[in-house]
Amino acid sequence: MSGKKLAIVALLVFACAVASVSGTYAASSGSVKITGVVNGGRAQPSDFTLQIRFGNSSVSGSGNNITFSGLAAGFQTITMSEGPAGYRVAWSGDCNSQGTVLVIPNITRNCTATYVYGSLGTIVVNTVVNGGTATASDFTVHLKKEGEADTGSPSGSGSVVTFDQLIPGEYTVIQSTLPAGYTAVWSGACDDGNVTVVGNRTATCTVTNTYTSASEGRTERGDRAPRTRTGR
């Protein structure tokens, strides 16, 4: 075999070795960094093992800081493969509630895995539109946990929006888009957009957006909750 062919074979062997370590080999790959936090109980982040599977292969890690590198671009789902009894994992950051993250070439995505001792909860937001030409899909709702910034908060639009796998505690549901002329009123489990999440239960909120006139109505956002008032 010539020296050139030997070099090609050696390169292919090296590429296969890289694939077996970092996951899915790709000419341009990305990374996911995961911060582990424990909420309740006596466990430590090192007691939990997270895993990404692709085909017949997988990568795994444990601890309060895990980085999966060499991942092919596209959607990857992170699961908890091992952990103490009684815990569930809640995802935030660049990961959705199911632990799915979009891997981008040459970029590190950041997720937080919160290991919750006990059950997680759910919030369902029903959007009702009265009058005007807008539809439920024109109104976007964001979910903000008490004491956290809006940046990166989960969101959705439509007549029914579900936020699941939530850590028990206090949350605020905010309408970030409100077409001109509409005022919003919250009801159900929400008190002016504020709602308490309880483990293994579903809190159902309704936001009714009523058309008044194009020259009236505006949204006023504070730290506590969204409010709507008519013009001066």
Q: Please report, rounded to a whole number, the percentage of residues in the chain having pLDDT higher than 90.
A: 61
Q: Are residues 53 and 108 in the same domain?
A: yes
Task: Say if CB 207 and CB 183 are below 8 A apart.
Answer: no
Q: Are residues 9 and 111 in the same domain?
A: yes
Lowest mean pLDDT among 111-115, 136-140, 162-166: 162-166
Final residue belonging to a domain, choices 99, 117, 135: 117
Instruction: Check which CATH number belongs to the domain holding 105 and give it.
Output: 2.60.40.10
Quote the pLDDT of residue 24: 47
Number of domains comprising the chain: 2
Q: Are residues 22 and 84 in the same domain?
A: yes
Cβ atoms < 10 Å from Cβ of 188: 14
Helices and strands in the chain: count of H runs, count of E runs: 1, 18
The model's pLDDT over 64-123, given as tens digits with 9 standing for 90+, comes to 999 999 999 999 999 999 999 999 999 999 999 899 999 999 999 999 999 999 999 999
Distance CA 221, CA 223 (A): 7
What's the domain range around 207?
121-229
Quote the pLDDT of residue 221: 39
Quote the pLDDT of residue 5: 44
Determine if the pTM surpasses 0.75. no
Distance CA 63, CA 19 (A): 23
The model's pLDDT over 201-210, given as tens digits with 9 standing for 90+, comes to 999 999 999 9
Q: Are residues 188 and 135 in the same domain?
A: yes
Q: Are residues 59 and 133 in the same domain?
A: no
Q: Are residues 100 and 137 in the same domain?
A: no
Q: Are residues 146 and 76 in the same domain?
A: no
Q: Are residues 22 and 37 in the same domain?
A: yes
Quote the pLDDT of residue 63: 94
Lowest mean pLDDT among 130-139, 147-156, 199-208, 220-229: 220-229
**Which residue has better confidence, 198 or 176?**
198
Distance CA 19, CA 177 (A): 44
Q: Are residues 126 and 216 in the same domain?
A: yes
Quote the pLDDT of residue 124: 97
Q: Could you give the C-alpha distances from 91 to 99, 116, 180, 216, 224, in angstroms and in order?
A: 6, 10, 34, 39, 23
Task: Say if CB 120 and CB 166 are below 8 A apart.
Answer: yes
For the record, the structure tokens of 27 come out as 């000419």
